[in-house]
Structure 1
Amino acid sequence: MSKQHPIIAVTGSSGAGTTTVRRAFADLFRRLQIQPAWVQGDGFLRHERTAMSAKINAATTQGKRFSHFHPDANLLDKLETLFLEYGQSGSGKTRNYAHDDNEAARFGTQPGKFTPWQALPANTDVLFYEGHHGGFSQSSRKTSKSIQIAEQVDLLLGVTPSVNLEWIQKIHHDCDRSGCGEQLVIETILHRMPDYVDYIVPQFARTHINVQRVPLVDTSHPFVARDVPGADESIVVIHLRDPQHFDFPKLLKKIDGAQMTRRNTMLVPGGKMTLAIEMICTPLIAKMIAARDMVAG
């Protein structure tokens, strides 16, 4: 953690809705005139698409576990190094991963490929990470080596919709993006589940804020659902680890339909999710920047 070079991370599985949270922060940064360094978690995967598929197939044949969520499938030491370096000097290196043709054209590479490693832009105000391992923290039982990514993050958010909703979003997300078949996505979900439980879920106990979208329509059979429940067909549960930092009466007045279900938990209409995130996080980010300016000055 660093007052001079703060780090914000949003963590969750594919299709959970982390991109929606990133867009809320993009609006927040524009309003506060903050220049972020954007970091894509998939840029820290260890293998490109073809090699990753081969690794997964080989592990499956041998009865072993290996998925995008597994630490061995990622360069978590490089991600930790990036966070440490940015916290110390506001610098570091990252790369992007092209998921589809649009991203390939934007990044100047091919689908399923990485861009070269490159330095972060100079003179940014914060680093914003979106991916699977922003709250990862684990010590190896076999060696003395440990990866402590969560400890470097100043503000950590977890995005974790109800399981059936997450599956529906994953199916539609992957089929729309890569054109793969529904059955393949289902197999991917089932294959990843043990690693999701072991390596993604524990991160939500380290977050400062958890955002969980809950559908208000029937999602009991996610594999036959034809549509992703919309914002007006869901509610959002927002859990705040340190409620003393928030002015709940003020938040409830500014977010129509919001209510408290516990002293540290808000319930907001699905259509107010982006507004709620901005309202909750704006004073936190403003405080970060004020602390940074005080140290710099």
Structure 2
Amino acid sequence: MSQKHPIIAVTGSSGAGTTTVMKSFAHIFRRENIRAQVIEGDSFHRYNRVEMRAKVRAADHGEGPQISHFGPESNLLAELDTTFAGYAKNGGGQVRRYIHDAGEARELGGEPGTFTDWQPMAESDVLFYEGLHGGFTGPGVDVARHVDLLVGVVPIINLEWIQKLHRDQNLRGYSQEAVVETILRRMPDYVNHICPQFSRTHVNFQRVPTVDTSNPFIAKDIPSADESMVVIRFAKPRGIDFPYLMSMLHGSMMTRPNTIVIPGGKMGLAMQLIFTPMILRLLDLKRRAG
């Protein structure tokens, strides 16, 4: 952690909805005129798309252990740790982008599934990370220790699978069988490396559908925000004005001293209400640290 150079990280698994949260933070940054250096978790993958597919095929044929983007073997987590540490110390470092599709290829140059070159960070007020490993700790690596505000985005597992199935089938052209294989391949890494991060977060958002998702593999559509509730858990509730939040978030209720449940459609508003004062507090500490 660093008062001079604060770091905010949103962590959640693929298909969890972290991109939606990223847009909420972008709105806060824009409204409050905050310069944020954005790091996408995908940019710290160890392998490009072709290399990763080759690694997966080899593992499927018994040539080495199973591998997934959830685990440390396929990510540059020591380098992410070093990047966070460097930013916390001097407000700078190196960043690159992972090129996801043809649109980004036109914007960034290069081929889909590859990386841009490393470039120096721009001058910024905060570092903002969105990806799989913002709260990761492991042998010789402790990414979480550098983060001043760590946010988890964790839909219940059936909803997460529904979102992934629909995205990968409809937007990326994968068969259901291929998506299910990926889910099964990732499960050990999900249990061992993704879930533990949500015990280190300062705030968790967990979307829970209010419709039947018992069999996610036959779901025809993704439950909408209005068909969901969101459970918001604060690790340290002291200083959180729960009466104010409940007055602003109609239909909300408290279920534990550190937990508020809100209608799914109010998740964006809740993020504005919760994170704006937190971010401004970080920037006030930054100014005081000089």
TM-score grouping bracket, smaller chain normalisation? over 0.9
Instruction: Give deviations 1:102-155, integer Å, cap 9, x for gaps.
Output: 222222221111111111112x1100000000000112xxxxxx1010000000
Equivalent position SS for 2:171: helix
Instruction: Give deviations 1:2-48, integer Å, cap 9, x for gaps.
Output: 00110000111100010111111111112211110010000000000
CA apart distance, 1:78: 1.0
- Counterpart position of 2:37: 37
Letter matched to residue 181 of structure 1: S
Equivalent position SS for 1:251: helix
Equivalent position SS for 1:257: coil
Letter matched to residue 21 of structure 1: V
Q: How does 1:212-291 map to 2 (within 5 A)?
A: 212-291=206-285
RMSD between aligned residues? 1.1
Letter matched to residue 87 of structure 1: A
- For structure 1, the 5+ residue unaligned runs are 140-145
CA apart distance, 1:220: 1.1
Equivalent position SS for 1:244: coil
Equivalent position SS for 1:67: coil
Letter matched to residue 97 of structure 2: N
Matched, 1:152 2:146: yes
Q: How does 1:97-108 map to 2 (within 5 A)?
A: 97-108=98-109
CA apart distance, 1:57: 1.5
- Number of aligned positions between the proteins: 289
- Counterpart position of 1:199: 193
Question: How does the TM-score come out when normalised to structure 1?
Answer: 0.95
Residues 9 and 156 of structure 1 are in contact (CA less than 8 Å); yes or no, is this contact kept in structure 2? Answer: yes
- Counterpart position of 1:20: 20
Q: How does 1:17-96 map to 2 (within 5 A)?
A: 17-62=17-62, 64-96=65-97
CA apart distance, 1:165: 0.3
CA apart distance, 1:245: 2.2
Residues 100 and 177 of structure 1 are in contact (CA less than 8 Å); yes or no, is this contact kept in structure 2? Answer: no
Instruction: Give deviations 1:147-166, integer Å, cap 9, x for gaps.
Output: 01000000001111011100
- Counterpart position of 2:113: 112
In the aligned structure 2, how far is the partner of 1:136 from the partner of 1:53?
24
- For structure 2, the 5+ residue unaligned runs are none
Matched, 1:2 2:22: no
- Counterpart position of 2:203: 209
CA apart distance, 1:182: 2.0
In the aligned structure 2, how far is the partner of 1:95 from the partner of 1:74?
14
Residues 100 and 178 of structure 1 are in contact (CA less than 8 Å); yes or no, is this contact kept in structure 2? Answer: no
In the aligned structure 2, how far is the partner of 1:73 from the partner of 1:244?
38
Residues 234 and 269 of structure 1 are in contact (CA less than 8 Å); yes or no, is this contact kept in structure 2? Answer: yes
In the aligned structure 2, how far is the partner of 1:283 from the partner of 1:167?
33
Equivalent position SS for 1:55: helix
CA apart distance, 1:222: 0.8
Q: How does 1:158-169 map to 2 (within 5 A)?
A: 158-169=152-163
In the aligned structure 1, how far is the partner of 2:171 from the partner of 2:239?
39
Instruction: Give deviations 1:41-73, integer Å, cap 9, x for gaps.
Output: 000000000100111121222272211111010
In the aligned structure 2, how far is the partner of 1:193 from the partner of 1:107?
33
